[in-house]
Structure 1
Amino acid sequence: MIRFEHVTKSYPDGTKAVDDLTFEVAEGELVTLVGPSGCGKTTTMKMVNRLVEPTSGRILLDGEDISAIDPVQLRRRIGYVIQQVGLFPHKTVLDNTATVPHLLGRPRGKARARAAELLDLVGLDPSTYGDRYPDQLSGGQRQRVGVARALAADPPVLLMDEPFGAVDPVVREHLQNEFLRLQSSLRKTVLFVTHDIEEAVRLGDRIAVYGAGRIEQFDTPATVLGAPATPYAARFVGADRGLKRLSVTPVDPGDLEQPPIVRLDDPVARAAERLASEGAPWAVVLEADGSPYGWVAASALTGAVGGPAAGRGLDKAPRGTVREHARRMDAWLPPGAPLKDALSAMLQHDAGWVAVRDGERHLGVLTPAGLHGALRRSTAADAAKLPRGEVSLDTVPVAGA
């Protein structure tokens, strides 16, 4: 969709803002351009809509050389969102959003109807916010209007220059979540400029890591974090890049452990016998429909905390069902959730594991050891360019084990 061919931007004093850029952004792909201030990432983006003209090289949009397209017409085909938003202060939110469709010749009524749809899409009820003016909105709300306005003409390409940089961290994370939700359904071709590597990792299908006017590495977030291509890229993504990988490494069924399973309405004696036969200290407890409920300790079933070993104290097992002894566990995730969410759930619930379920179907549990192994396998797989399931790990033995 967007292709740079040996693009350079030089200034009269000899400064090269970007030097011999060649890369491509596929249709429907979100590429983040990340790097320090002055590295050329914003210049790169502005050359796509001809706010900056390249000194040499070509930029193609859907196969067409943009230098042959009238700049005004080009910009009306491209959505543009900036940090300062740039809303018209004298226009209402609804009219701000309808600006580009109206400029493209749509009747005012249809332009406003489209604007109302988009405001609703970005989480701003048009009946509540449509008649307000920009100075009556919070910073996060203004950013939402900026996104809605950029999408109003249904452009195939969206350029975003530090769009969430001027809001506080909580609002920023919420805006990122909302934008990912929108992108999953709209699949625009997006160039997203940021100086924040964590934002780049979280949002990008691929990341372009910029040095001084050039791209040091262009790859998936997992690969950039797991196998930096140059010493500069390694320094930029940081020594804690292993922790950052938690955000881009999904929970895989191969990471899960399978402790014994009992049901809420199982007789205590039967459940205790199962745990004893497997030598397990606890079991996952499922509802009658197979959805996870929580867990139960073997000691609770035998009624002998610190007493006889499992399997020898079954005569002491209390009567009734597992229900009376099970403990509720609300820490669960869907398959494919990032490992960061798994770690967060463990910490939030002070839990030694989280359940992984597909809808209401229990798949297994992820433990801290399983999470660590998943992260190591992911890093090794990217370095070796192998599927994660084909990677085996060497483990350092524990002294005295």
Structure 2
Amino acid sequence: MIRFEHVTKSYADGTTAVDDLSFEVAEGELVTLVGPSGCGKTTTMKMVNRLIEPTSGTIYLDGDDISAIDPVELRRRIGYVIQQVGLFPHKTILDNTATVPHLLGWPRKKARARAAELLDLVGLDPATYGDRYPDQLSGGQRQRVGVARALAADPPVLLMDEPFGAVDPVVREHLQNEFLRLQSTLHKTVLFVTHDIEEAVRLGDRIAVYGAGRIEQFDTPATVLGAPATPYAAEFVGADRGLKRLSVTPVETGDLEQPPIVHLDDEVRHAADRLSADGAPWAVVLDADDNLHGWVSAATLTGAAAAGDATATGKDAAAADGAPQGATVRAHARRMDAWLPLGAPLKQAFSTMLQYDAGWIAVLDGDRFLGVLTPARLHEALRRSTTADAANIARDEVSLHTVHDV
């Protein structure tokens, strides 16, 4: 979709902002350009919509040489989001969002309907926010309007220059989540400039790590973190790149342990005996369809079974068989809040463990229970991912050695 061929941008004072740049962004791909200030990443982006003209080389958009396209026409085909948003202060949010459709000659009714649709898509109810003005919105809300406006004419390409850099960290993370949700639906071809390696890792399908006017490494986030191509790339991504990998390493079925399982309608006595035989301190509780319900401790089941025995004493013990007729796990199961979906990043798993002070968390595929992830297995998953990338093999082909193997 976007292709750079030996592109250079030099200035009259001898400064070379971008030097012999060649790379390609595939259709529907989100590529983050990351590097320190002055490295050429914003210049690279601005050459795509011809806000800056290259000194030499060629840039192609969907196979067309952009130098042969009228700049105004080109920019109307490309969505553009900047850090300061640039909303018109005298226009309502709805009219701000409809700016490009208006410029393209859309009928007013159609343009406003499209604007309302996009505001709703970015989480701003047009009935509530449409008639407001930019100064009546928070920074995060204005940034959402900027994204909606860039998408209003449904451009195939989106350029984003530090779009979330002017908001606080909490709002920034929320905006990143919302943008990832949008991208999973819209599949735009995106160039995203940032100086934050964590943001680049979190958002990008691939990352271009910039040195001085050139790309030091262009690869997936996992590869950039696991196998930096140059000393510069290694220094830029940081000595804690192993921790950053938590954001791009998904939970897989091979990472999970299989704990003891009981069902809601199992009799308490039978469930207690099963856990006792296994020497297990707890079990996961599933419903009749094997969907996750919660968990129960062996001590709770043993206590309930003992109480049932005491109740049955002097009565028809043979009929009662220990616990009272109908006493099941259902009455003793506890809710499980510590869970996450298969494929979630290890960072989310680690955060969930800390949030609930949990020694393990359940992993689900939809509602279906797959297993549990423990801190030890989380660490193993991270090590396998790092080793797999370094050796260019699949993660499940990695064999790990621990102190227990000695």
Structure 1 and Structure 2 fold alike (TM over 0.5)? yes
- Indicate the residue corresponding to 2:6 in structure 1: 6
Higher mean C-alpha deviation, range 323-332 or range 173-182: 323-332
Deviations for 1:50-78, whole angstroms, at most 9, x for unmatched residues?
00111111101011111111111111110
- Indicate the residue corresponding to 1:288 in structure 2: 288
Change in Cα spacing, 1:146 to 1:316, as seen in structure 2 (3 Å) is: closer
Aligned AA (2:174): H
- Indicate the residue corresponding to 2:234 in structure 1: 234
1:134 Cα deviation (Å)?
Answer: 1.0
- Indicate the residue corresponding to 1:210 in structure 2: 210
Query: How far apart are the structure 2 equivalents of 1:129 and 1:275?
Result: 56
What SS does the corresponding residue of 1:346 show, helix, strand or coil?
helix
Query: How far apart are the structure 1 equivalents of 2:335 and 2:100?
Result: 53
- Indicate the residue corresponding to 1:15 in structure 2: 15
- Indicate the residue corresponding to 1:193 in structure 2: 193
- For residues 96-115 of structure 1, the aligned pairs below 5 Å read 96-115=96-115
Query: How far apart are the structure 2 equivalents of 1:46 and 1:232?
Result: 25
Q: Does 1:174 align with 2:174?
A: yes
What SS does the corresponding residue of 2:192 show, helix, strand or coil?
strand
TM-score norm. by structure 2 comes to: 0.92
What SS does the corresponding residue of 2:191 show, helix, strand or coil?
strand
Q: Is the 8 A contact 2:30 2:192 kept in 1?
A: yes
Count of aligned pairs: 390
What SS does the corresponding residue of 1:167 show, helix, strand or coil?
coil
Q: Does 1:376 align with 2:383?
A: yes
Query: How far apart are the structure 2 equivalents of 1:88 and 1:285?
Result: 56
- Indicate the residue corresponding to 1:40 in structure 2: 40
Q: Does 1:361 align with 2:368?
A: yes
- For residues 48-87 of structure 1, the aligned pairs below 5 Å read 48-87=48-87
Query: How far apart are the structure 2 equivalents of 1:127 and 1:338?
Result: 36
Query: How far apart are the structure 1 equivalents of 2:220 and 2:60?
Result: 22
Deviations for 1:177-226, whole angstroms, at most 9, x for unmatched residues?
11111111110000000001111111101000111111111111111111
Deviations for 1:129-159, whole angstroms, at most 9, x for unmatched residues?
1111111111111111111111111110000
1:324 Cα deviation (Å)?
Answer: 4.2
Query: How far apart are the structure 2 equivalents of 1:327 and 1:108?
Result: 56
RMSD after superposition: 2.0
Query: How far apart are the structure 2 equivalents of 1:387 and 1:155?
Result: 36
1:125 Cα deviation (Å)?
Answer: 1.2
Q: Does 1:389 align with 2:396?
A: yes
Query: How far apart are the structure 2 equivalents of 1:116 and 1:330?
Result: 36
Aligned AA (2:177): N
Query: How far apart are the structure 2 equivalents of 1:98 and 1:237?
Result: 39
Query: How far apart are the structure 1 equivalents of 2:118 and 2:333?
Result: 47
Equivalent of 2:352 in 328, 345, 354: 345
Q: Is the 8 A contact 1:116 1:126 kept in 2?
A: yes
1:245 Cα deviation (Å)?
Answer: 0.9
Query: How far apart are the structure 2 equivalents of 1:21 and 1:333?
Result: 41
Q: Is the 8 A contact 1:261 1:286 kept in 2?
A: yes
Q: Is the 8 A contact 1:303 1:316 kept in 2?
A: no
Q: Is the 8 A contact 2:5 2:58 kept in 1?
A: yes
Q: Is the 8 A contact 1:122 1:178 kept in 2?
A: yes
Query: How far apart are the structure 2 equivalents of 1:51 and 1:361?
Result: 51
1:347 Cα deviation (Å)?
Answer: 1.0
1:276 Cα deviation (Å)?
Answer: 3.0
Unaligned stretches of 5+ residues in structure 1 = 305-314
Aligned AA (1:246): L
What SS does the corresponding residue of 1:296 show, helix, strand or coil?
strand
Aligned AA (1:330): D
Q: Is the 8 A contact 1:266 1:321 kept in 2?
A: yes
Query: How far apart are the structure 1 equivalents of 2:88 and 2:239?
Result: 43
Query: How far apart are the structure 2 equivalents of 1:324 and 1:136?
Result: 51
Query: How far apart are the structure 1 equivalents of 2:71 and 2:230?
Result: 37
1:254 Cα deviation (Å)?
Answer: 0.5
Aligned AA (1:105): G
- Indicate the residue corresponding to 1:297 in structure 2: 297
What SS does the corresponding residue of 1:14 show, helix, strand or coil?
coil
Q: Does 1:274 align with 2:274?
A: yes
Change in Cα spacing, 1:89 to 1:274, as seen in structure 2 (3 Å) is: same
Q: Is the 8 A contact 1:302 1:316 kept in 2?
A: no
Aligned AA (2:339): W
- Indicate the residue corresponding to 1:311 in structure 2: none
Aligned AA (2:347): K
Percent of aligned pairs with the same amino acid: 85
- Indicate the residue corresponding to 2:338 in structure 1: 331
Query: How far apart are the structure 2 equivalents of 1:234 and 1:150?
Result: 34
Q: Is the 8 A contact 1:356 1:362 kept in 2?
A: yes
TM-score norm. by structure 1 comes to: 0.93
What SS does the corresponding residue of 2:385 show, helix, strand or coil?
helix
Q: Does 1:322 align with 2:329?
A: yes
What SS does the corresponding residue of 2:403 show, helix, strand or coil?
coil
1:322 Cα deviation (Å)?
Answer: 2.5
Unaligned stretches of 5+ residues in structure 2 = 305-321
Query: How far apart are the structure 2 equivalents of 1:273 and 1:186?
Result: 53
Query: How far apart are the structure 1 equivalents of 2:330 and 2:97?
Result: 55
Q: Is the 8 A contact 2:353 2:359 kept in 1?
A: yes
1:268 Cα deviation (Å)?
Answer: 2.2
Query: How far apart are the structure 1 equivalents of 2:323 and 2:238?
Result: 56
Q: Is the 8 A contact 1:257 1:366 kept in 2?
A: yes
